[in-house]
Structure 1
Amino acid sequence: MTAHPDQAGLLPDLLGLEWMEVGPEKVRGRFAIARHHMAPNGFLHAACLIALADTACGYGCMAALPKGAEGFTTIELKSNFLGAARDGAIACEATCAHAGRSTQVWDAVVTHEESGRTLALFRCTQIVLYPR
Protein backbone atom coordinates (compact mmCIF):
# COMPACT_ATOMS: atom_id res chain seq x y z
CA MET A 1 0.00 0.00 0.00
CA THR A 2 1.37 3.35 -0.98
CA ALA A 3 0.34 6.94 -1.47
CA HIS A 4 -0.30 7.87 -5.10
CA PRO A 5 2.59 9.98 -6.45
CA ASP A 6 0.19 12.70 -7.66
CA GLN A 7 -1.24 13.31 -4.16
CA ALA A 8 1.88 14.58 -2.32
CA GLY A 9 0.91 17.60 -0.23
CA LEU A 10 -2.72 17.53 -1.42
CA LEU A 11 -5.95 16.54 0.37
CA PRO A 12 -5.64 12.78 -0.31
CA ASP A 13 -2.15 12.91 1.22
CA LEU A 14 -3.33 14.93 4.23
CA LEU A 15 -6.08 12.37 4.84
CA GLY A 16 -3.58 9.49 4.65
CA LEU A 17 -5.22 7.75 1.67
CA GLU A 18 -3.34 4.65 0.51
CA TRP A 19 -3.73 2.70 -2.74
CA MET A 20 -3.42 -1.03 -3.35
CA GLU A 21 -4.60 -1.01 -6.98
CA VAL A 22 -5.04 1.77 -9.54
CA GLY A 23 -6.17 0.88 -13.03
CA PRO A 24 -8.57 1.88 -15.81
CA GLU A 25 -11.29 -0.53 -14.62
CA LYS A 26 -10.80 -0.78 -10.85
CA VAL A 27 -9.22 1.17 -8.00
CA ARG A 28 -8.81 -0.04 -4.40
CA GLY A 29 -7.79 2.26 -1.57
CA ARG A 30 -8.07 2.75 2.18
CA PHE A 31 -7.21 4.83 5.21
CA ALA A 32 -6.83 4.09 8.90
CA ILE A 33 -9.20 6.20 10.99
CA ALA A 34 -7.36 8.88 13.00
CA ARG A 35 -8.55 11.82 15.09
CA HIS A 36 -8.36 14.24 12.14
CA HIS A 37 -10.98 12.10 10.30
CA MET A 38 -13.59 12.58 13.02
CA ALA A 39 -16.59 14.91 13.14
CA PRO A 40 -17.47 16.80 16.36
CA ASN A 41 -20.15 14.16 17.10
CA GLY A 42 -17.47 11.51 17.66
CA PHE A 43 -18.06 9.59 14.42
CA LEU A 44 -16.09 9.47 11.20
CA HIS A 45 -16.77 12.63 9.17
CA ALA A 46 -18.83 11.86 6.05
CA ALA A 47 -16.54 14.09 3.98
CA CYS A 48 -13.71 11.59 4.53
CA LEU A 49 -15.77 8.83 2.91
CA ILE A 50 -16.54 11.11 -0.03
CA ALA A 51 -12.88 12.10 -0.34
CA LEU A 52 -11.80 8.45 -0.44
CA ALA A 53 -14.46 7.45 -2.99
CA ASP A 54 -14.05 10.54 -5.20
CA THR A 55 -10.26 10.21 -5.21
CA ALA A 56 -10.48 6.52 -6.10
CA CYS A 57 -12.82 7.30 -8.98
CA GLY A 58 -10.59 10.19 -10.08
CA TYR A 59 -7.45 8.05 -10.18
CA GLY A 60 -9.40 5.45 -12.17
CA CYS A 61 -10.60 8.10 -14.59
CA MET A 62 -7.03 9.33 -15.10
CA ALA A 63 -5.93 5.78 -15.84
CA ALA A 64 -8.77 5.34 -18.35
CA LEU A 65 -8.51 8.65 -20.24
CA PRO A 66 -8.94 8.22 -24.00
CA LYS A 67 -6.10 9.05 -26.37
CA GLY A 68 -5.74 12.80 -26.80
CA ALA A 69 -7.51 13.73 -23.56
CA GLU A 70 -5.62 16.06 -21.22
CA GLY A 71 -7.68 15.57 -18.07
CA PHE A 72 -11.14 15.45 -16.56
CA THR A 73 -13.37 17.13 -14.02
CA THR A 74 -16.21 15.74 -11.94
CA ILE A 75 -19.59 17.06 -13.07
CA GLU A 76 -21.84 15.10 -10.72
CA LEU A 77 -21.51 12.95 -7.63
CA LYS A 78 -23.94 11.21 -5.33
CA SER A 79 -23.35 9.39 -2.08
CA ASN A 80 -25.73 7.30 0.03
CA PHE A 81 -24.51 6.82 3.59
CA LEU A 82 -25.50 3.51 5.18
CA GLY A 83 -23.38 3.38 8.32
CA ALA A 84 -20.84 5.09 10.54
CA ALA A 85 -17.55 4.20 12.21
CA ARG A 86 -15.41 5.36 15.13
CA ASP A 87 -12.29 3.26 14.73
CA GLY A 88 -10.49 0.81 12.49
CA ALA A 89 -9.89 1.36 8.80
CA ILE A 90 -12.02 2.33 5.81
CA ALA A 91 -11.70 0.62 2.42
CA CYS A 92 -13.01 1.59 -0.99
CA GLU A 93 -13.36 -0.25 -4.28
CA ALA A 94 -14.21 1.85 -7.32
CA THR A 95 -15.19 0.35 -10.67
CA CYS A 96 -15.74 1.90 -14.06
CA ALA A 97 -19.37 1.67 -15.20
CA HIS A 98 -18.82 3.65 -18.43
CA ALA A 99 -15.62 4.86 -20.10
CA GLY A 100 -16.64 6.91 -23.12
CA ARG A 101 -14.83 9.49 -25.19
CA SER A 102 -16.58 12.44 -23.52
CA THR A 103 -17.70 11.10 -20.13
CA GLN A 104 -16.88 8.42 -17.58
CA VAL A 105 -19.12 7.04 -14.83
CA TRP A 106 -17.57 5.39 -11.77
CA ASP A 107 -19.17 3.55 -8.85
CA ALA A 108 -17.54 3.05 -5.46
CA VAL A 109 -18.41 1.01 -2.39
CA VAL A 110 -16.93 2.20 0.90
CA THR A 111 -16.70 -0.36 3.71
CA HIS A 112 -15.41 -0.71 7.25
CA GLU A 113 -12.43 -3.08 6.86
CA GLU A 114 -12.80 -4.94 10.13
CA SER A 115 -16.57 -5.56 10.08
CA GLY A 116 -17.08 -5.61 6.30
CA ARG A 117 -20.13 -3.34 6.73
CA THR A 118 -20.96 -1.10 3.79
CA LEU A 119 -20.77 2.54 4.93
CA ALA A 120 -21.48 4.34 1.66
CA LEU A 121 -22.41 3.83 -1.98
CA PHE A 122 -21.03 6.44 -4.35
CA ARG A 123 -21.42 7.31 -8.04
CA CYS A 124 -19.72 10.07 -9.98
CA THR A 125 -19.66 11.29 -13.55
CA GLN A 126 -16.61 12.94 -15.06
CA ILE A 127 -16.38 14.94 -18.24
CA VAL A 128 -13.24 14.22 -20.27
CA LEU A 129 -11.26 17.33 -21.24
CA TYR A 130 -9.38 17.79 -24.50
CA PRO A 131 -6.98 20.54 -25.61
CA ARG A 132 -8.63 23.46 -27.37
Structure 2
Amino acid sequence: MNDLTPQFNERGVGKLPGHLGLVFTEVSALEVRGELAVLPHTMAPNGFLHAGSVVTLADTACGYGCVANLPKDATGFTTIELKSNHLGTALEGTIDCVAKPAHIGRTTQVWDAVVTHRDTGKTIALFRCTQMVLYRKQ
Protein backbone atom coordinates (compact mmCIF):
# COMPACT_ATOMS: atom_id res chain seq x y z
CA MET A 1 0.00 0.00 0.00
CA ASN A 2 1.39 3.42 -0.92
CA ASP A 3 0.65 6.86 0.52
CA LEU A 4 -2.27 7.53 -1.87
CA THR A 5 -4.11 4.27 -1.30
CA PRO A 6 -5.94 5.06 1.99
CA GLN A 7 -7.42 8.29 0.58
CA PHE A 8 -8.77 6.39 -2.44
CA ASN A 9 -10.37 3.72 -0.25
CA GLU A 10 -11.95 6.54 1.78
CA ARG A 11 -13.36 8.11 -1.44
CA GLY A 12 -15.50 5.02 -1.98
CA VAL A 13 -17.17 5.04 1.44
CA GLY A 14 -20.89 5.71 1.05
CA LYS A 15 -20.62 5.37 -2.73
CA LEU A 16 -20.93 2.36 -5.07
CA PRO A 17 -17.32 1.19 -4.55
CA GLY A 18 -17.82 1.14 -0.78
CA HIS A 19 -21.24 -0.45 -1.02
CA LEU A 20 -19.89 -3.32 -3.12
CA GLY A 21 -16.84 -3.70 -0.86
CA LEU A 22 -14.07 -2.73 -3.29
CA VAL A 23 -10.68 -2.51 -1.60
CA PHE A 24 -7.66 -0.91 -3.25
CA THR A 25 -4.22 -2.09 -2.23
CA GLU A 26 -2.17 0.12 -4.54
CA VAL A 27 -2.91 3.39 -6.29
CA SER A 28 -0.13 5.04 -8.24
CA ALA A 29 0.29 6.88 -11.51
CA LEU A 30 1.49 3.67 -13.20
CA GLU A 31 -0.65 0.95 -11.64
CA VAL A 32 -3.78 0.46 -9.59
CA ARG A 33 -4.59 -2.80 -7.77
CA GLY A 34 -7.94 -3.59 -6.25
CA GLU A 35 -9.99 -6.53 -5.07
CA LEU A 36 -13.56 -7.59 -4.48
CA ALA A 37 -14.82 -10.46 -2.36
CA VAL A 38 -17.43 -12.55 -4.18
CA LEU A 39 -20.42 -12.28 -1.83
CA PRO A 40 -24.20 -12.58 -2.29
CA HIS A 41 -24.64 -8.86 -3.01
CA THR A 42 -22.14 -9.06 -5.91
CA MET A 43 -24.01 -11.90 -7.63
CA ALA A 44 -26.52 -11.87 -10.49
CA PRO A 45 -29.92 -13.55 -10.05
CA ASN A 46 -28.56 -16.57 -11.99
CA GLY A 47 -26.11 -17.29 -9.14
CA PHE A 48 -22.94 -16.17 -10.91
CA LEU A 49 -20.84 -13.08 -10.32
CA HIS A 50 -22.67 -10.08 -11.78
CA ALA A 51 -20.93 -8.48 -14.77
CA GLY A 52 -21.71 -5.10 -13.23
CA SER A 53 -19.67 -6.01 -10.17
CA VAL A 54 -16.70 -6.85 -12.37
CA VAL A 55 -17.09 -3.67 -14.43
CA THR A 56 -17.40 -1.56 -11.27
CA LEU A 57 -14.11 -2.95 -9.95
CA ALA A 58 -12.29 -2.38 -13.25
CA ASP A 59 -13.81 1.04 -13.96
CA THR A 60 -13.10 2.28 -10.45
CA ALA A 61 -9.49 1.09 -10.65
CA CYS A 62 -9.04 2.90 -13.96
CA GLY A 63 -10.76 5.99 -12.60
CA TYR A 64 -8.50 6.13 -9.55
CA GLY A 65 -5.51 5.80 -11.87
CA CYS A 66 -6.85 8.68 -13.93
CA VAL A 67 -7.15 10.84 -10.81
CA ALA A 68 -3.55 10.00 -9.89
CA ASN A 69 -2.51 11.33 -13.32
CA LEU A 70 -4.66 14.44 -13.65
CA PRO A 71 -2.82 17.56 -14.79
CA LYS A 72 -2.49 20.20 -12.05
CA ASP A 73 -5.06 22.52 -13.66
CA ALA A 74 -7.66 19.79 -14.32
CA THR A 75 -10.83 19.75 -12.23
CA GLY A 76 -11.71 16.08 -12.73
CA PHE A 77 -12.60 13.54 -15.37
CA THR A 78 -15.46 11.51 -16.77
CA THR A 79 -15.48 8.12 -18.43
CA ILE A 80 -16.51 8.54 -22.07
CA GLU A 81 -16.18 4.96 -23.25
CA LEU A 82 -15.71 1.55 -21.71
CA LYS A 83 -15.54 -1.96 -23.04
CA SER A 84 -15.29 -5.27 -21.27
CA ASN A 85 -14.78 -8.80 -22.48
CA HIS A 86 -16.04 -11.28 -19.90
CA LEU A 87 -14.10 -14.53 -20.23
CA GLY A 88 -15.10 -16.28 -17.03
CA THR A 89 -17.01 -15.93 -13.80
CA ALA A 90 -16.76 -16.78 -10.13
CA LEU A 91 -19.00 -18.37 -7.54
CA GLU A 92 -16.83 -17.64 -4.50
CA GLY A 93 -13.48 -16.26 -3.41
CA THR A 94 -11.96 -12.94 -4.38
CA ILE A 95 -11.39 -11.27 -7.72
CA ASP A 96 -8.37 -9.06 -8.29
CA CYS A 97 -7.90 -6.20 -10.71
CA VAL A 98 -4.73 -4.64 -12.10
CA ALA A 99 -5.17 -1.43 -14.11
CA LYS A 100 -2.43 0.28 -16.13
CA PRO A 101 -2.40 3.33 -18.38
CA ALA A 102 -2.19 2.87 -22.14
CA HIS A 103 -2.26 6.65 -22.81
CA ILE A 104 -1.93 9.61 -20.46
CA GLY A 105 -2.70 12.85 -22.24
CA ARG A 106 -3.79 16.34 -21.34
CA THR A 107 -7.36 15.84 -22.60
CA THR A 108 -7.82 12.05 -22.54
CA GLN A 109 -6.51 8.99 -20.77
CA VAL A 110 -6.90 5.36 -21.82
CA TRP A 111 -6.62 2.60 -19.21
CA ASP A 112 -6.55 -1.18 -19.47
CA ALA A 113 -7.48 -3.54 -16.64
CA VAL A 114 -7.36 -7.28 -16.17
CA VAL A 115 -9.64 -8.94 -13.63
CA THR A 116 -8.67 -12.41 -12.41
CA HIS A 117 -9.87 -14.92 -9.84
CA ARG A 118 -7.34 -14.94 -7.02
CA ASP A 119 -7.45 -18.66 -6.23
CA THR A 120 -7.50 -20.04 -9.77
CA GLY A 121 -5.64 -17.29 -11.64
CA LYS A 122 -8.37 -17.53 -14.28
CA THR A 123 -9.04 -14.34 -16.26
CA ILE A 124 -12.53 -13.08 -15.51
CA ALA A 125 -12.48 -9.98 -17.75
CA LEU A 126 -10.40 -7.70 -19.93
CA PHE A 127 -11.42 -4.06 -19.69
CA ARG A 128 -10.52 -0.81 -21.45
CA CYS A 129 -11.84 2.67 -20.82
CA THR A 130 -11.25 6.17 -22.08
CA GLN A 131 -11.58 9.16 -19.79
CA MET A 132 -11.97 12.78 -20.76
CA VAL A 133 -10.02 15.16 -18.55
CA LEU A 134 -12.16 18.10 -17.40
CA TYR A 135 -11.14 21.71 -16.95
CA ARG A 136 -13.05 24.65 -15.51
CA LYS A 137 -13.85 27.40 -18.01
CA GLN A 138 -12.00 30.61 -17.29
Shorter chain as denominator, the TM-score bin is: over 0.9
Question: Root-mean-square deviation (CA), in Å?
Answer: 1.1
Instruction: Please tell me whether residue 84 in structure 1 is matched to residue 118 in structure 2.
Output: no
The runs of 4+ residues in structure 1 deviating greater than 3 Å are none
Q: Name which of 124, 129, 138 aligns with 1:124.
A: 129
| Residues in 2 aligned to 1:108 and 1:95: alpha-carbon distance in whole angstroms | 6
What's the secondary structure of 1:106's corresponding residue? strand
Identity %: 61
Alignment TM-score, normalising by the size of structure 1: 0.97
Query: 1:107 is matched with which residue?
Result: 112
Q: Name which of 16, 25, 29 aligns with 2:30.
A: 25
**CA deviation digits over 1:20-57, x for unaligned, max 9?**
10011110000111100111111000100000000000
| Residues in 2 aligned to 1:34 and 1:40: alpha-carbon distance in whole angstroms | 13
**CA deviation digits over 1:36-92, x for unaligned, max 9?**
011111100010000000000000000000120010000000000000110000100
What's the secondary structure of 1:116's corresponding residue? coil
The unaligned stretches of length 5 or more in structure 1 are: none
**CA deviation digits over 1:83-126, x for unaligned, max 9?**
01100001000001100000000000000000000010000000
| Residues in 1 aligned to 2:10 and 2:88: alpha-carbon distance in whole angstroms | 31
Query: 2:98 is matched with which residue?
Result: 93
Equivalenced residues, count: 132
| Residues in 1 aligned to 2:39 and 2:101: alpha-carbon distance in whole angstroms | 29
Query: 2:9 is matched with which residue?
Result: 4
Alignment TM-score, normalising by the size of structure 2: 0.93
| Residues in 2 aligned to 1:57 and 1:117: alpha-carbon distance in whole angstroms | 20
> Structure 1 residue 8: deviation in Å?
1.1
